[in-house]
Each structure stands twice: as structure tokens, then as C-alpha cells.
Amino acid sequence: MARRAPRTSRTASAEPPTPRRRGARAARRAGDLPTDEVPTTTGSARLEPDPDHAGAVTLYVNGVPSSHVDLDDPGFLAFEYMQQMAAVIDRLPPGPLRVLHLGAAGCSLARWVEHTRPGSTQVGVDLDARLLELVRTWFDLPRSPRLRLRADDARHALSTFADASFDVVVRDVFAGDSTPEHLVTSGAALDVRRVLRPGGTYLVNCADRPPLTAARRELAGLAAVVGGTGTTGGTGPGAGRGAVGTPGPPPLRAALAEPAQLKGRRYGNVVLVAVRPGPGGPDLASPGLARAARTLPVPAHVVVGPELDAFVGAAAPFEDPPDAVGHEPATPGRTR
């Protein structure tokens, strides 16, 4: 389950927040939103007013907190894992981005990208068609073609996009409190690699319990995005920046989370990162990223290089069943 950071802070961003003079208008809009459960394609949705700010709500989908939307300030991200993802995106070169969101819900991160990277083009995919209609009505979302919303299974949607279509792919897909099995495999990571441009970045919200077996296995599978088995471009454990000896290329995989979460003390979110080799990708071992993560409202740690190799250990990737046909989920789920 996603955790909220303190309201008094906001994500690090090169852009200033939306002026607070819009607050009264946003508060009126938030006050007009429904508070009862609303039927959707996969179940139901409910909006809970933010007790700290009248212009913001938390969107619950099938009882799970799926998005926090500040109608007054699209530059504010409340969920810790989204703040960590934003810290990585901030390391990308300046300018508009092409972003694919596998899991749309309230489109909080898409609104943030639009705010911090004007001119970006984005696609949000969600299995719940009715939910997409509702959030278009409820929230101040960028219009198409800046943000296109599509009802589809996330893995099937991947198969429909052209090669090198996106600078960033974000996976935030859940059925209950876990990600559908067909989205965590190395085959799914290969699908993502194909639609990423060289240097493109894959950001994964992995919710896991001690001893973080799922996070370790997913990181092993994300070597498919990197193009090999090592953390730094497929040359093996310990290679690249951070290894003993002559520095090599920057690492291409990383994990970000609160230190207690990385130590496996509780259930929570771990952000996994993989970069397709090529120019323009983020330096996951940069002091700037480490500092940005460390100075978040809830400080996070960036695990890269040999530390990441030790974290993954001998974990085996999740694999698609050998007789799998297509990319449909084995059980009903939803993208959020």
C-alpha cells in the first residue's frame, strides 16, 4: 500500500509550484466531487478529501489508495514512491518527455510531468475503462494529445506501440496489493525495452514484503532492459561505476526505498529502475540523485553497483510460462 509523505514538503523540481491563489477555485472543485463509492468497470472508486488541504483528494480503487491528486498544485506528489520516481525523472535531460504510464488511476505522476516538463506527450493505460472516464471528469488532466488515456491490459498495450516510442515507461499496476504475474517477468521487461528509446528509463513500483523476494527477482529480470545480467550494462556483477578499480559506464539498474524498507522490516514500496543503454539516460550513481533521494520528506536510499548485486544475490527472474499465449492476465486485475 502506498504511503503518503508529510504534507508540508513537496518533491524536488526545477519548476515552481502552481501559485496558491488558485486554491479557492480548486477547493470549490474538490468540494463538488463525490464522496460516495462510484461503480467502475473493475469494481468501485471513492474519493476521500485530504484533511490537510481542501483542494486535494485521495482516490481509492477497490478499497486501495491508488492516487493522491492536488487540484491546486499538479507539482505536488504525496506518495513516497512517486516522489522517488520523480527524483529519477529529474535526472533526465531538460525538455519535454514521451512517457507511458502502465497504470493510470488519477494520473498524479502524469500531471506532475506535464507541470515540470511542458510540452510532454503521455499515454496512460488502465484496465478500468469507466475509471478513466471518471478521472477525466473529476481532475484537471492534460487533454489529448498531451495525455491520451487508453483502456487496455498493460502488457497487451505494450505490444501495440512502435519501437523506441518512449523516453520513460512507468509501471504502477496492481490487482489488490500485488502486481499481476504477467507484468513482472523478464519477458515483460523485454517488451518494455523494445518501446524505450536508447537511454530510456523504466520505473517500477514494486510492493513487497520481507524478505523482499519479489523485488530481488524483479531486479534480476530487469537485466532484460539493460541487455545483460549485470547492474551496469550486462558485463556482470560488480562492473561499472562504484566497483573497485577503474570506473566503467554508469550503472543501469537501481532500487530506491526508505532504508527500513530495504532492510525488509515491513511491507511497502520499492522503486526499481532500469535504463536501456544509450545516450541521455540518467546516471543512477550520481551524487545528485543520491542527494535528491536523501532529502525527500521521507529520506530514501539509492542502491546501485555492487550494493545492488549483493541485494539481488542469486535471485532468479520471474519467467513467462512456456505455453503462455498472448499477454492477457491469468486472473482479473487492474492497472492503477
Q: What's the confidence (pLDDT) of residue 4?
A: 63
Q: For residue 45, what pLDDT is reported?
A: 95
d(CA 100, CA 129): 17
What is the model's pLDDT at position 2? 66
Q: Give the gyration radius of the chain's Cα atoms.
A: 19
Residue pair 255/219 in contact by the 8 Å Cβ criterion: yes
Q: Give the pLDDT of residue 302.
A: 98
pLDDT of residue 330: 38
DSSP conformation letters of 56-85: EEEEEETTEEEEEEETT-TT---BHHHHHH
Distance between CA atoms of residues 323 and 160, nearest Å: 21
In this prediction, residue 54 carries a pLDDT of: 87
Residue pLDDT, tens place only, 146-183: 999 999 999 999 999 999 999 999 999 988 778 999 99
Query: DSSP readout, 80-123?
Result: HHHHHHHHHHTTSPSS--EEEEE--TT-HHHHHHHHHSTT-EEE
pLDDT at res. 107:
96
Alpha carbon distance 213, 206 (integer Å) = 11
In whole angstroms, give the CA distance from residue 128 to residue 41: 5
pLDDT digits (tens, 9 = 90+) for 70-101: 999 999 999 999 999 999 999 999 999 999 99
Give pTM, 2 decimals: 0.86
Residues of the chain with pLDDT under 50: 8-24, 27, 229-246, 329-336
